[in-house]
Amino acid sequence: MTGRNANPKVQPLIIERWSPRAFDGSEIPQEDLDVIFEAAGWAPSAYNVQPWTFLYAKKGDANWDVFLSQLVEFNQGWARQASVLVYVVSDSQMRSDKGNSDNHSHSFDAGAAWVLAALQARAMGYDTHGMTGIKFGEAEAALGIPADHRLEAAFVIGKRAPKDVLPDFLQEREAPAGRKPVSEIVKAGTFA
Ligand SMILES: Cc1cc2nc3c(=O)[nH]c(=O)nc-3n(C[C@H](O)[C@H](O)[C@H](O)COP(=O)(O)O)c2cc1C
């Protein structure tokens, strides 16, 4: 599944988003970051509870080293050159004055929000790269995440750099990935 051969009617922004690992380490203005996170917050969610929280550190700030160290070594290797590292957290509970109940779609909704952040970032000339290569089990404590919340994933935001900043084995992988054909992901009718 290499290369992109999309129906031209698919919105170009969707096809233009891909996940590089070569970043230039430049600073992202706070006002750009605020727009990217606002876009995430415009995602739909069940009962509009907006179960997501985005924890972020900017490269070199007081939280950066702790944030980076919660990624597995492989991801640390390239993500350290990104500009911002974000952890996506979701609240598993629907909260009301009458008590709490489990929110079936907290992860689904947080996923929708991260994708909007990724698309907004691309529209502004930035790139993102999602990660679940996280030291799950340790990272929740290091990031102060409450027990009734779920650490879903991380992503970086930054400006793409030429791939030769990467080691050889990653240069080979530095390209937009393809996708399964629509016929493989859709069924008209039941699963069976
Ligand atoms: C939830 C999630 C977790 C991922 N985890 C990692 C990761 O830990 N390390 C990594 O290098 N890429 C990771 N990726 C990137 C995927 O491999 C990539 O999105 C996929 O191959 C599709 O490529 P594209 O984003 O360029 O279209 C992750 C992506 C997502 C959405």
What average pLDDT does the structure give for the chain?
97
Does residue 176 line the site of ligand 1, with CB under 6 A? yes
Instruction: Map out the domains of the chain with their CATH numbers.
Output: 21-161 (3.40.109.10)
Does residue 26 line the site of ligand 1, with CB under 6 A? no
pLDDT for residue 1 is more than 60: no
Question: Minimal CA–CA distance to 27: which of 85, 68, 86, 83?
Answer: 83
Q: For residue 95, list its beta bridge partners.
A: 100
pLDDT band at 3 (very low <50, low <70, confident <90, very high): confident
Distance CA 104, CA 106 (A): 6
Taking only Cα atoms into account, the Rg of the chain, rounded to an integer number of angstroms, comes to 18
pLDDT for residue 2 is more than 90: no
Does residue 110 line the site of ligand 1, with CB under 6 A? no
Does residue 153 line the site of ligand 1, with CB under 6 A? yes
What order of strands is seen across the sheet that includes strand 84-91?
Answer: 52-58, 84-91, 149-158, 127-131
| Ligand 1: centre distance to CA 99 (Å) | 37
3-state secondary structure string across the chain = CECCCCCCCCCHHHHHCCCCCCECCCCCCHHHHHHHHHHHHCCCCHHHCCCEEEEEEECCCCCHHHHHHCECHHHHHHHCCCCEEEEEEEECEEEECCEEEECCCHHHHHHHHHHHHHHHHHHCCCEEEEECCECCCCHHHHCCCCCCEEEEEEEEEECECCHHHCCHHHHCCCCCECCCCHHHHCCCCCCC
Does residue 133 line the site of ligand 1, with CB under 6 A? yes
Mutate to test the pocket of ligand 1, among 73, 78, 129 (most ligand atoms within 8 A of CB): 129
Task: Encode pLDDT of 24-62 as tens digits.
Answer: 999 999 999 999 999 999 999 999 999 999 999 999 999
What pTM was computed for the model? 0.97
| Ligand 1: centre distance to CA 78 (Å) | 13
Does residue 128 line the site of ligand 1, with CB under 6 A? no
Nearest CA to ligand 1 atom 10: 131
| Ligand 1: centre distance to CA 69 (Å) | 18
Residue 105: exposed, middle, or buried by beta-carbon count in 10 A (0-12, 13-18, 19+)?
middle
Question: With left for phi above 0 and alpha for psi between -120 and 50, is residue 66 left, alpha or beta?
Answer: alpha
Nearest ligand 1 atom to the CA of 19 is 26
Does residue 132 line the site of ligand 1, with CB under 6 A? yes
Task: Encode pLDDT of 69-106 as tens digits.
Answer: 999 999 999 999 999 999 999 999 999 999 999 999 99
pLDDT for residue 152 is more than 60: yes
